[in-house]
Amino acid sequence: MAAGRGRIALTPSAPVREVLDRMHLITGKPRSQLISDMLDAVAPVFVEQLEIMQKLAAAPDRAAELVREFGIQGIHTISQQLLDLPAPKKRGRRPRNATP
């Protein structure tokens, strides 16, 4: 265990446990490391959600506007991720005199 990192005990539901078991068999990684890696990957989303919840708690009268803002941010994030994906390569035509 890395210095400064505390342990958290959790009991996954049966379907989640099954998925973790399958991933463990495929990757050979410990289940705890798989969970830790997944949580690290979604941590930025948690931070965004926490910020929105704090804004909602501070200004409940702006709830609809804040939810709309959060939705727009999500759309922008997804759009940017799609743009960042590598473009599929098109297969070109063979030259006329090429041999198969």
Gyration radius (Cα) of the chain, Å: 22
CA distance 63 to 59: 7
Best CA proximity match to 73, nearest among 97, 94, 45, 40: 45
* pLDDT attached to residue 12: 93
Confidence at 4, pLDDT banded by 50, 70, 90: low
User: Which tens digit of pLDDT belongs to each residue from 9-59?
Assistant: 999 999 999 999 999 999 999 999 999 999 998 888 888 889 888 988 888
Q: Taking the domains of the chain in order of start, what are their residue ranges?
A: 14-84
* pLDDT attached to residue 55: 85
Q: Does residue 3 carry a pLDDT above 70?
A: no
33: tokens are 């490391």
